[in-house]
Amino acid sequence: MSEPITNDYLETVRKRCDSSTKGLWIASVEGRDHPLGGETVILRGVSREDDVLRRDEDDLYLIGGTVADYDFISHAKQDIPLLLNEVARLRKLLKKTSD
């Protein structure tokens, strides 16, 4: 069994996430998301305006990753804050029930 995750560790993870480029991150995979001939990249700082994607930051280029790697990295920007918030919510709920 692994050790419990400390609040300090969770705060460190949150700070890393908060310090990264703001906005959505989206994997743009050659042949899946755009025609062949382009590169596979992570689009960072993406926002939507009138159903049009706007990119506020330079793309992040990765070499040697799989499509699953690109999807994991891009989704982590959105997934990690949700998971941290859920951990905080559950810990608060546990604290209430143990008091």
- pTM score, two decimals? 0.81
Give dist(CA 81, CA 95) in Å, integer. Answer: 21
Structure-token pair, residue 23: 């906005």
Q: Pick from 82, 74, 84: which is nearest to 20 by CA?
A: 74
For the chain, which residues make up each domain, given as ranges? Answer: 7-89
Specify burial of residue 57 (Cβ count, 10 A radius: 0-12, 13-18, 19+). Answer: middle
- Is the pLDDT assigned to residue 51 strictly greater than 90? no
Model confidence at 1, pLDDT cuts 50, 70, 90, reads low
Residue 99, pLDDT > 80, answer no
**Residues 54-84 pLDDT 10s:** 888 888 998 888 999 999 999 999 999 999 9
Q: How confident is the model at residue 37 (pLDDT cuts 50, 70, 90)?
A: confident
Q: What single letter denotes the amino acid at residue 92?
A: K
CB-based burial, 58-85: b 16+ in 10 Å, e otherwise: eebeeeeeeeeebbeebeebeebeeeee
Nearest-angstrom CA–CA distance, 25 and 73: 8
